Amino acid sequence: MKVFKFGGASVKDSAGVRNLGEIIKTQGKDAFVVVSAMGKTTNALEDLVRAYVHRQNENTQTVLATLKDFHQRMSIELLGNSIPVDETFAHLDLLLAQPPSAPYDEVYDQIVSLGEILSTQIIAAYLQQNNVPTQWLDARQLICTDITFREGRVNWTETNQRISQRVTGKGVKITQGFVGQTATNRTTTLGRDGSDYSAAIFAYCLNADSVTIWKDVPGVLNADPRWFDETILLDKLTYQDAIELAYYGATVIHPKTIKPLQNKGIPLYVRSFLTPDAPGTVIGNFEQHLSTPSFIFKVNQVLISLRPNDFSFIAEDNLSRIFGRFAQAGVKINLMQNTAISFSVVVDNNPDRVPALLALLKQDFRVSYNDSLELITIRYYDQGTIDRVLVNKKLLLEQKSRYTVQLVVKDLG
Ligand code: ADP
Ligand code: ASP
Ligand code: MG
């Protein structure tokens, strides 16, 4: 069985859904299809949750009306009179009419997950109407997670059992990316951009032959084309290179996607929904290193430096305290480096989390920080590439391993 995953960009308008239909007709007759919310729906649903929880009624109604309008218009353009999303919006109306009765992250998951429900309802009806026998499956009943709302951790044993029991029969199957459910039937989500990961979970449990994620780029490139004018398509990548690139921030693949596929040797294809006949990139078990450097840029980074107040070494006891603080504040470390009595970390400058982290760290350490920085990672670097990247930048910190260099810089331009 083939698993296909279509992201928000591929189904942002009715032409996108028609294109998806063509790809399934020509290349995915029995595919298991995982779909994200349409276009920027997830961002809009996040706005809705914020307005609802903060009891901004007018704002809530405005965002809700925009979401309804968009999905109703999509339904009409694709299906004529039938509007398969009415029931889901009726459910959402009921939910929003009550005051929030759970912590923020739990409320978030009950609402934001509906983006994927809406998109798959429309797309399943469209495929059905266009003579592609399609079964709509509810991913909430298939992917079982713990209760970490907004970052659900998969219970693999239970998920495997449910998927093997419930995904049967021939024809196209369509389900939602990004969503799961706790053992007590509360909806969870798997983290922003988590639909690639959902596709990998399904592929693992179904022992799929391959996974194809359909993107708006020709495949995995050696840099994000939003930042670089000249990029090179990487036609073959090892699982190891793919996981390293994704981990350091190449947003074309969600970093959690690779492990389940590597564990079962399932190849991952990254292909363009704009040129569906082109081969794109294949990721698998290959014996080869890349011959060109790959670049990953992260902007809006903050470099935090810590020194123990009492001039003690940065050793195991201090390190475990530091990591404990980061875990408590929910801040992910992008790079770290230590000397005898100082410890430096680079993190995304998230205004919801970093101030609280700094306050926690100040309880035990002298803290200094430097913001508005860039973190540049180069895999398969050479000195010439580093020199080119550093033109017009001030280098604050550098970390090299055999294949990867990370540079923390201030842009002087
Ligand atoms: P979707 O949500 O539709 O699945 P994303 O927008 O998350 O897809 O991912 C595709 C985007 O990833 C591209 O438009 C591109 O800007 C970005 N990207 C970042 N790094 C790379 C890379 N190395 N190769 C290709 N695309 C990349
Ligand atoms: N719709 C979710 C998001 O935008 C999941 C995904 O698209 O992968 O984050
Ligand atoms: Mg995405």
Angle of CA points 15, 18, 23, to nearest 5°: 125
**Alpha carbon distance 297, 295 (integer Å):** 7
Phi, psi for 286 (deg, rounded to 5): -115, 155
CA of 390 to the centre of ligand 3 (A): 29
Report the CATH number of the 294-411 domain: 3.30.2130.10
**Residue 339 pLDDT:** 84
Which residue ranges does the chain devote to CATH 3.40.1160.10? Answer: 2-215
**Residue 315 pLDDT:** 79
- What CATH architecture does domain 2-215 belong to? 3-Layer(aba) Sandwich (3.40)
**Residue 340 pLDDT:** 84
**Residue 324 pLDDT:** 92
CA of 217 to the centre of ligand 1 (A): 7
Which numbered ligand comes closest to the C-alpha of 191? 2
Residues with CB under 6 A from ligand 2: 7-8, 36-37, 42, 115, 177-178, 192-195
Which ligand 1 atom sits closest to the C-alpha of 5?
4
**Residue 46 pLDDT:** 98
Choosing from 217, 235, 270 the residue with most ligand 1 atoms within 8 A of its CB, the one to mutate for a pocket test is: 217
Which residue ranges does the chain devote to CATH 3.30.2130.10? Answer: 294-411
The response to whether residue 224 sits with its C-beta less than 6 Å from ligand 1 reads yes
The share of the chain scoring above pLDDT 70, in percent, equals: 100
**Residue 288 pLDDT:** 82
Query: 290: which 2 tokens?
Result: 């890349």
**Residue 155 pLDDT:** 98
- Check if the beta carbon of residue 345 is closer than 8 Å to that of residue 303: yes
Low-confidence ranges of the chain (pLDDT < 50): none
Which residue has the CA at smallest separation from atom 5 of ligand 2? 193
Which ligand 2 atom sits closest to the C-alpha of 198?
8
The response to whether residue 9 sits with its C-beta less than 6 Å from ligand 1 reads yes
Quote the pTM value. Answer: 0.94
